[in-house]
Amino acid sequence: MIVRAGRASGRKGTDMAGDHRLDPHDERVVAFCRERHLATLTTLRADGTPHVVPVGVTFDPDAGLARVITSGGSAKARHVAAAGPEGTPVAVCHLDGRWWLTIEGRATLRTDPASVAEAERRYAERYRQPRPNPERVVIEIAVTRLLGTLPPPP
């Protein structure tokens, strides 16, 4: 398929800029974020180029937060920390066949034991108990937008 000027050739009249916005409390979003899906996290390097890595992520629709646990010395943690307390824009993308969900938001780094413990608890619920890591930190994402195409409700 070739995309030109917002249209997909071979799909007459299909606007590629379609509205894929989702409500964080949509039951499809909540269900998809409970299933075990790996994701990619995109942060920005100092030179502005994207740094994309696989991650496990949890989503708390009530708090409007997504969380990624990682080591404090990882590139993703360093990119977020470099932005300071105001944070930096990031995106987390899940993909499962034709279904996808992108979480956009502003990321900050949390190092306090309570934030790390909460993120580990949520990670264990979705994936598995994380291995011990005394250098663990949390990339906390204040969600600003959800985009995706998800399966219909059961």
Q: Each residue of 33-56: pLDDT tens digit?
A: 999 999 999 999 999 999 999 999
The structure's pTM equals 0.86
Count up the domains in the chain and report the number.
1
Q: Each residue of 10-33: pLDDT tens digit?
A: 444 334 446 789 989 999 999 999
Which CATH number covers residue 106?
2.30.110.10
Asked if residue 12 belongs to a domain, the reply is no
Domain that residue 65 falls in? 21-149
Query: CA angle, 32 as apex, 59 and 13 as ends, to 5°?
Result: 115
Q: What is the mean pLDDT of residues 80-106?
A: 96
DSSP string of 40-108, one letter each residue: EEEEE-TTS-EEEEEE--EEETTTTEEEEEEETTSHHHHHHHHT-TT-EEEEEEEEETTEEEEEEEEEE
Asked if residue 76 belongs to a domain, the reply is yes
Asked if residue 13 belongs to a domain, the reply is no
Tokens 């979705």 locate to 126
Distance CA 137, CA 71 (A): 6
